[in-house]
Structure 1
Amino acid sequence: MQPKVSALPVVTLLALCCQHAWAGGIMLYEIGTDNAGLANAGAAARAQGPSTIASNPAGMSYLPGTQITGGLQVLYGNLKFDRDDDTNVAGSGSGNALDPMPGGSFFISHELDDHWSVGFGQYGDFGLAVNYDNEWSGRYFAQNSSLLGLSLVPSVAYRFNEQWSVGVGVTAMYGMLQAQTAIDRSPFGFTDRSDGQFKYKDKDWGFGANVGVIYAPQPGTRIGLAYTSKLDLEFEDGLDVKGDGPLLQRLDGTQTQLDMTVPQTVTLSLFQQLDRQWALLASVNWQDWSEFGEIAVQVDTSANDARSTTVDANYKDTWHLSLGAQFQATPQLLWNFGVAYDSSAVSDGDRTFTVPMAESWRLATGATYALNKVTDVNVSWAMVWLGDMPVDQTKSPSGNRTSGQFDNAWIQAVTGNMTWRF
């Protein structure tokens, strides 16, 4: 059993850990599927493979027989912080905080009869990690942190007729949170002591649902509407605190619970076949980041008492707009193109080092090649441009301040997958 701490104010722990409650919170469209090459355009209406389970389970109604898609991808990018003259903490540069992140996905769908289809999806569409140099000038706000979610989604779809299909999936997300931050043991410069450090780490399951409908008013036209419910994750761990001194020794082992909400989303998509070669795709997506930004924090302050509060990160709901096209260059080769815009969940004044989010533009392309009648291979690429992101954070009461901006930030995804039909 982890030791309790008596009479420890909640605010003391919040100063240490609340910044990490939002570590890496980001919703990913790139999950190792051909959707990456379309920048999410038409995702809820395409219904071109079993990966539709992730974007609209109703799309399984359009898939004959049994189909399997397996995909791999790597995310990499540039996230380097350039400090300005307002920074009053000594230290090195941040380094590139985005390490290459591998990922993968697996989907299977099966047509039971003319009306019913079932399927299963496994993918990671939530989270990102930041890993700064341990001695950088913003180490008292973040050294490294990550929040990752792996979703398991059994699904079922029903096709009423040629126009209407519905689908539902039950989502079980395995969430993993970890954070590591330096502790200033020489506040105000009164002493010359090396930094301390705290670590926080836990895992939890959250449960929700994916629901979707597709309406096809005429052959070649599909309109899809999909909803993913929110998921609640509750992380609890005893703080692992390193460093000499009575205060840090009292903090070590303190049980701290962080409750957060994975955002609910709504997506409206269009797929329009223009002729035998060209198709037009579009999507509008809403994500409920305002609720994700409110973190419930509970700290055990004695053997019989726990103090709770809610930290509001001032997050805003976001909107995604995407437009894409498909070109059937040959009977075997299909080209995908897409461009997208995402609004920012935070203003410049609320941006943190743990979640350096901003409005972004996506540019994507990909190609699917039919090896034979039952096997396709796809390779896709997407560039997410974040641009310059200013951050200015100050610790209270020490007054430690790190100010500057991330210059020309970007993330790229390279994806490869194969689909088999039986």
Structure 2
Amino acid sequence: MKSKILALLGSALLSGTAMAGGYQVNLASQRQIGMGHTGTGLLTGTSSIFFNPGAMSFMDSRGAVTIGGSGIISKIAYSAPESGAITARTDNPTGTPFQVYAVYGINEKLKAGLGVYTPFGSTVQWGNEWSGRYALNQLKLQAIYIQPTVSYAITDKLGVGIGLNYVVGNVNLQRSVPVQSQDGTEGGIELDGSTESAWGFNAGVYFQATEKLSIGVNYRSKVDLRVENGDVMFSNIPAAARGNFPDGTSFNAELPMPSTLSLGLGFKPSERLTLAADVSYVGWDAYEKLRFDFSQNVGGSSFSEAGRNYENTFIYRIGAEYMVADGLALRGGAYLDKTPVQDGYLTPETPDADSRGLSVGLGYNVSDNISLDASFLYINKKERTDASNLSGGIAGTYKSIAYIPGIGLNFKF
């Protein structure tokens, strides 16, 4: 029983960060969110730092800065096996991912930029009374990417770019333990740790094939974050069980974040209308298993290990922008994000399923140098039931939705 609990503990830590959801929703630009988060085959302005560094070299302003953020309002409902009724819901606080981009034109062909964004970060909060509390009560995580970038226009139609990703993060996990103190209070475990800094890269090629058609290819590398000497804290452990939960324990764990290869098209059938489509291939097969090492034996073992066996997946995105009037743009988009989680590997911190996203947005030019973008994204995951639990998860049916408004400010000079 204790080894199973340890496996669940490690599962929550690693898969929560690796997927930044079960609801992994990249929120890299308010304009692009409004267009279904397309952008690989478009000149997206400063957010080309994220979507395709090769396009950044074609920015027409000497320099530009963008500041934006979103609010993630998410809910997960759980039904116990064969109950037919919802028996638990998450009470997640609003997440606040952000993005900051700055680009400076060294000359007409060469641009330099810096991006700071949070593609992984959320909180899942089930509380300490639901039936799966021995697997998870609460998970908080965040990863911050800092990306210096350069881009060069080889010709007036072809640009290349590359950025280095410096990544740091932190994680906090809490769960109940099936023991009680003398006053009847249930025991608990909390893990808290910051990741060591890690490096990756983001590279892209942008090609303006014709006046109306543009093509882009982008590759973001896998990043392995590692927690070293994270704190393991126990509460309400009875004296008879303290030998299995020793104070002063620390943990090490590795948190893989997968690579993404994207192909994008942009098409302008008229001066006012822009259409876009992206396909991304996400390398989730890097996440085959997890290992969770303790500095002292916990539950009679110095480590826990469980299979993940994630599968590589595709994300399909479409989007459009229409200039209703000079300085006013309306946007819309949709996407399908296929889950990498196989049957039998569903866990309560990332009860993942195929995601359907619908988005709308608008842009408004306040002046020649200042503009505003607003977006709204709705995510609906398919209801999913898992009973086999090859990963030691919690059997039952899960349903997830999210509402994500956002706003951004752009300034060019």
> Is the TM value for this pair above 0.5?
yes
Residue 205 (structure 2) aligns with: 213
- What secondary structure sits across from 2:49 in the alignment? helix
Instruction: Report the more deviating stretch, 354-363 or 22-31.
Output: 22-31
The AA in structure 2 aligned to 1:218 is T
Name the CA distance, whole Å, in 1 between partners of 2:218 and 2:211: 21
Name the CA distance, whole Å, in 2 between partners of 1:288 and 1:234: 19
Distance 1:84 1:333, change over 3 A: same
- What secondary structure sits across from 1:109 in the alignment? strand
Instruction: Report the more deviating stretch, 233-242 or 27-36.
Output: 27-36
1:33–1:105 Cα contact (<8 Å) kept: no
Distance 1:23 1:353, change over 3 A: same
Q: In the TM superposition, what is the alpha-carbon distance from 1:351 to its structure 2 partner?
A: 0.8
User: Structure 1 residue aligned with 2:56, among 56, 60, 66?
Assistant: 60
Distance 1:21 1:131, change over 3 A: same
Query: 1:1-400 alignment to 2 at 5 Å?
Result: 13-14=6-7, 16-23=9-16, 25-26=19-20, 27-41=24-38, 43-64=39-60, 65-85=62-82, 93-185=87-179, 194-204=185-195, 205-236=197-228, 237-242=230-235, 243-252=237-246, 253-301=248-296, 310-392=305-387
1:191-237, Cα deviation, whole Å (9 max, x unpaired): 99542110111111221100111011222321110001111111132
1:349-404, Cα deviation, whole Å (9 max, x unpaired): 211101111101111111111112111111111111103132448799xxx99543
- What secondary structure sits across from 1:218 in the alignment? coil
Name the CA distance, whole Å, in 2 between partners of 1:374 and 1:401: 52
Distance 1:250 1:395, change over 3 A: farther
Name the CA distance, whole Å, in 2 between partners of 1:279 and 1:145: 40
1:322-359, Cα deviation, whole Å (9 max, x unpaired): 11111111111111111111101113421110111110
Name the CA distance, whole Å, in 1 between partners of 2:353 and 2:337: 9
Q: In the TM superposition, what is the alpha-carbon distance from 1:308 to its structure 2 partner?
A: 5.8
Gaps of 5+ in 1: 1-8
Name the CA distance, whole Å, in 2 between partners of 1:138 and 1:307: 24
Residue 415 (structure 1) aligns with: 406
The AA in structure 1 aligned to 2:408 is N
1:94–1:133 Cα contact (<8 Å) kept: no
Name the CA distance, whole Å, in 2 between partners of 1:354 and 1:393: 17
1:257–1:299 Cα contact (<8 Å) kept: yes
Name the CA distance, whole Å, in 1 between partners of 2:52 and 2:393: 45
Distance 1:345 1:146, change over 3 A: farther
2:345–2:389 Cα contact (<8 Å) kept: no
1:246-288, Cα deviation, whole Å (9 max, x unpaired): 4344423322211121111111101111111212100000111
Name the CA distance, whole Å, in 2 between partners of 1:401 and 1:207: 31
Name the CA distance, whole Å, in 1 between partners of 2:212 and 2:32: 19
Q: In the TM superposition, what is the alpha-carbon distance from 1:138 to its structure 2 partner?
A: 1.0
Length, aligned pairs only? 398
1:265–1:286 Cα contact (<8 Å) kept: yes
Report the TM-score when normalising by structure 2: 0.89
Name the CA distance, whole Å, in 2 between partners of 1:314 and 1:179: 22
Q: In the TM superposition, what is the alpha-carbon distance from 1:307 to its structure 2 partner?
A: 5.4
The AA in structure 1 aligned to 2:59 is L
Cα root mean square deviation, aligned: 2.7
The AA in structure 2 aligned to 1:415 is G
